[in-house]
Amino acid sequence: MVDVLFVTSNPGKVREVRSVLAPYGVSVRWLRRTLTEPQATTLAEVAGHKLEAVRRPARYVLVEDSGLFVPSLKGFPGVYSAHFLKIWGFPPLLELLRRRDRRAVFRTVAGLARGKERWTFSGEVRGTIAWAPAGSHGFGYDPIFVPEGFTRTMAELSPEVKDSISHRARAMHKVGRFLATRSRAPKRKRKKGFA
């Protein structure tokens, strides 16, 4: 069993990360903390800053940053997704998209650290923005995001379905495979920068 400390303010992320990592023999402990997000242009930069803010040399520390990118809005809200949703909610986004291409991508960049070593893993899911919010599962933008191959929003799909297709699940499967491989490898044969 590998222990990982997942630092986030978001209980929805914790449920999803636990469910994806459990089959890899990874046990996730939750440190509930709001990590400051600097002005940055990429999710990877934000994830890196979040990692720097947590110092736990003896164990694996996991953080992640996610965002909804709408190409017809030049990638907005992207790295500003949390801020935008908190201040404005869905209406301005739905209004902006009334006459624009509704395609969107949800992306996650996960940052993992142990001592001085750092690794990043990414995942994404394509889809479209719904005409109106629907559904009560999940959190954040789930009520307005319809993943590719589905006709319902992420919030109308069951948590199991979300965990089989989501941006976060895709990034976390990479984390799980990495940790499972590393925990099996004899210590002196471990290569630096494996990921």
Site membership for ligand ITT, residue 34 (CB under 6 A): yes
Stretch that binds ligand ITT, among 4-12, 17-25, 96-104, 111-119 (CB under 6 A): 4-12
Is residue 3 part of the annotated active site? The answer reads: no
**In the range 98-157, which residues lie near ligand ITT by CB under 6 A?**
138-142
Give the strand pairing for 26-32 and 60-69. Answer: unpaired
Q: Interface residues for ligand ITT in 13-32 (CB under 6 A)?
A: 13
SS (H, E, C) the chain: CEEEEEEECCHHHHHHHHHHHHHHCEEEEEEECCCCCCCCCCHHHHHHHHHHCCCCCCCEEEEEEEEEECHHHCCCEHHHHHHHHHHHCCHHHHHHCCCCCCEEEEEEEEEEEECCEEEEEEEEEEEEECCCCCCCCCCCCHHHEEECCCCCCCCCCCHHHHHHHCHHHHHHHHHHHHHHHHHHCCHHHCCCCCC
Pairing relationship of beta strands 26-32 and 103-114 according to DSSP bridges: unpaired
Using the rule CB under 6 A, is 166 a contact of ligand ITT? yes
Instruction: Identify the residue among 8, 120, 128, 153 touching ligand ITT (CB under 6 A).
Output: 8
Q: Which residue is nearest to ligand ITT (CB)?
A: 140
66 binds ligand ITT (CB under 6 A): yes
Total interface residues for ligand ITT by CB under 6 A:
18
CB of 79 to ligand ITT, least distance (A): 8
Q: Which of 4, 65, 70, 129 binds ligand ITT (CB under 6 A)?
A: 65
Tell me the window of 9-17, 89-97, 171-179, 180-188 that interacts with ligand ITT (CB under 6 A). Answer: 9-17
Contact residues: ligand ITT, CB under 6 A? 8-10, 13, 34, 65-67, 81-82, 85, 138-142, 166, 168
Query: Among all residues, which ones are annotated catalytic?
Result: 65
